[in-house]
Structure 1
Amino acid sequence: MRVCLIPLKTEPRNPSANLDRLGQCLEEIAHYQPDLICLPECTFTGYLYEEDDFKQFAEPIPGPITERMGQSARRYTTYLCFGLLEVAESGVYNSAVLLDRKGKIILKHRKIEEKPPFVNGDTVSSVDTELGRLGLLICGDLFNGDVIRELEPSLNLLIVPMARSFNKRSPDVERWISEERQVYIEAVKAVGVTTLIVNALEINTDDPSFGGAMIVSADGELLAESPHGTDTVLMWEFDRNGG
């Protein structure tokens, strides 16, 4: 199984430019024929949390973005995971979806470890696929013990889109290497499931997410990592049991 993590360079509040950037990236990696492509939290809008932004950028699921990404999944015959702002009758959620090779939504997760004005999700689910049993969390959910205990024990792979920043000083390679990287590794080890982590690389904003991606095995081994502070694509091939 070949997976591709894309820490997409994201300009907040400019989904059109971000979608164009993704389109170029997908063309560039198409010859690798990835089985699964993973994108960051709030992929096309950046991490937004103001009511005015919700009114302008939040979409239903299914909706225009899921339909457009479905076209990409079909075109490249790949599973595709991405984050978005989801509007529903109960409010706005920080959500992520997983599409199959035919562009069908097979898994949706609403972020649980989230702050107002978002509405918090309250369920954790997974799905059986040809790639194994896949689970989906978002950013801070990975560090919530109650959430982790709800994960299906038979998971083969956990996908975690993120939009993580360093308090207006992102990127910070020294901090990443000396502190943050090991925190993620220990969190995955506690979960006990091979995990794909992909972070947005935000631009033109005061508090940017710092990009990068990593793959950590169930026992806490760092299998692969793209450079901190970059949008470098991370490609990795491993067997269906997560090895």
Structure 2
Amino acid sequence: MKVVLIPMRVEVGNFKANWNEFKKRFNEALEYEPDFVVFPEYCLTGFEEWDFRGAKLYDEIVGRVSELARENGVYVVFGLLEPYKNCVYNSALLIGRNGEVLLKHRKFQEPMKFCTGNTVRTTKTEFGKVAIIICGDLYNKRIAKWVRRKRPDYLFVPMEYSPEYGEMTSENVEAMSERVKLLGVRTFVVNSFPPGGAWAFNENGTLLASSRGERLLVVG
């Protein structure tokens, strides 16, 4: 199984620029003949408190990404804002090789004004069972319980670690490692740029590979 993690540059509120960047980075990833291409949290709209206008693009975004996945026969993991009744979820999807939505995760670890998820789901692929969580979910005790119960083979974590905090420090990466060790699943994390970065851990929390800034991380 080959995974390409893409720390994509994201402009808040600029769907056109983000879509062009998404396609550009997606095509870069295809050069490595990946099985999975993984993008960050709400990567096509960005997000600022409490501007949820990007949720209106949900159907268009799903349609466009599904077409790319189907045309190129790859799995795609990415985050987006999902409208629901009178509120919005911070969600992430796994799109299958045929363009079908195989898995949706709704983020637990969110402040007021978001709807929040209440479980972790898995789906089967030819490589094993897959799950998705989002950013701060990695540190949520309820999430940890669900992940351990569902026992996926692989976990994908789209992230948006604020550029205000600068690059991930060694302490930040060590904290991620400890959480992955607790979950006991091979885990792939990718952050939006800036500050960017991507990390791959084995089920024991050992860091297998990482990248800085916008650089792709190819694992497999």
Q: Tell whether the 8 Å contact from 2:122 to 2:150 is kept in structure 1 after alignment.
A: no
- Residue 151 (structure 2) pairs with residue 161 (structure 1): no
Q: How many residues align?
A: 219
SS at match of 2:88: strand
Give 1:84 deviation, angstroms.
Answer: 0.4
Residue identity (%):
37
Give 1:195 deviation, angstroms.
Answer: 0.3
1:57 alignment counterpart: 54
Matches within 5 A, 1:166-177: 168-171=164-167, 176-177=169-170
Question: What runs of 5+ residues in structure 1 fail to find an aligned partner?
Answer: 203-209, 238-243
Equivalent of 1:231, from 199, 205, 214? 214
SS at match of 2:203: coil
1:187 alignment counterpart: 179
1:207 alignment counterpart: none
Normalising by structure 2, report the TM-score: 0.95
Partner letter of residue 211 of structure 1? Answer: G
Question: What runs of 5+ residues in structure 2 fail to find an aligned partner?
Answer: none
Partner letter of residue 214 of structure 2? Answer: D
2:63 alignment counterpart: 67
Normalising by structure 1, report the TM-score: 0.86
- Residue 204 (structure 2) pairs with residue 219 (structure 1): yes
1:28 alignment counterpart: 28
RMSD, matched Cα:
1.5
Give, in whole Å, the separation in 1 of the partners of 2:128 and 2:74: 14
Give, in whole Å, the separation in 1 of the partners of 2:56 and 2:81: 6
| 1:124 to 1:46, Cα distance in 2 relative to 1, 3 A | same
- Residue 122 (structure 2) pairs with residue 111 (structure 1): no
1:123 alignment counterpart: 119
Over 6 Å off, 4+ runs: none
| 1:60 to 1:125, Cα distance in 2 relative to 1, 3 A | farther
Give, in whole Å, the separation in 2 of the partners of 1:129 and 1:235: 19
